[in-house]
Amino acid sequence: MDTDSVHEAKVSLEDVGTCDLDVESINTDLVVEASSNGDKSRELETAGGILTGVELDLACVAEKLVNLSVLMMHVATKETDFEAFASSNDILADSVEKALEFDFLSEILDAETMELDKLMMNIQKYIFEVGEIISSNGPGETFMALEEKLRDSQESLKQSKDQVSEIRAQSAKFQRTFSCLHGEENCKL
């Protein structure tokens, strides 16, 4: 057994579960190498490391969702202000500032939601990889514990996706409001 292959199969927690949106730091070659060597303990270590990273990334997603919910409430308040001045025929410097602020904040909300979608797609990929490792090793007490953690991660990801869908729908409503009140579209609010 080559010592280099053993070294490459280890997963460092520094590489997994960072809260930056570059989840590609998890080396997926580890999964292939561990599987090709057939060493269940290394596969277990690899799957456990990836799953730990997934759990950390899901915690990051949950935190971002809380922050996006607060931002969404703030944008909704700005939307109310924007609708109020847009319905009046008085164009004041303050009105233009409110319109720009509403537009800017709603664009930030939209961009952050798209970034969160990308992160969750990567998390989904890693959940699938761990599922593949577990299914390729068959039943076992240790892998059953990983299966339970995997199911919890899948459920958490599903709930996060549902929340992101709600935020995305609200963000689209904000964009329609801005477009409608500026005469860019014929629409009903």
- For 69-97, the pLDDT digits (tens) are 999 999 888 888 777 766 666 666 677 77
∠ CA 187-189-115, nearest 5°, is 95
> pLDDT at position 51, please?
93
Quick one: average pLDDT of 54-69? 95
Q: What is the pLDDT of residue 182?
A: 60
Percent of the chain with pLDDT strictly greater than 90: 36
Q: Please provide residue 160's backbone torsions phi and psi, each rounded to the nearest 5 degrees.
A: -65, -40
> Could you give the CA distance from residue 135 to residue 130 in angstroms, rounded to a whole number?
9
For the chain, domains (ranges, CATH) are: 24-181 (1.20.58)
Kindly give, in sequence order, each residue whose CB lies less than 8 Å from that of residue 61, ignoring residues fewer than 6 positions away: 116, 119, 120, 123, 157, 160
What mean pLDDT do residues 21-47 have?
A: 58
Share of the chain above pLDDT 70, in %: 67
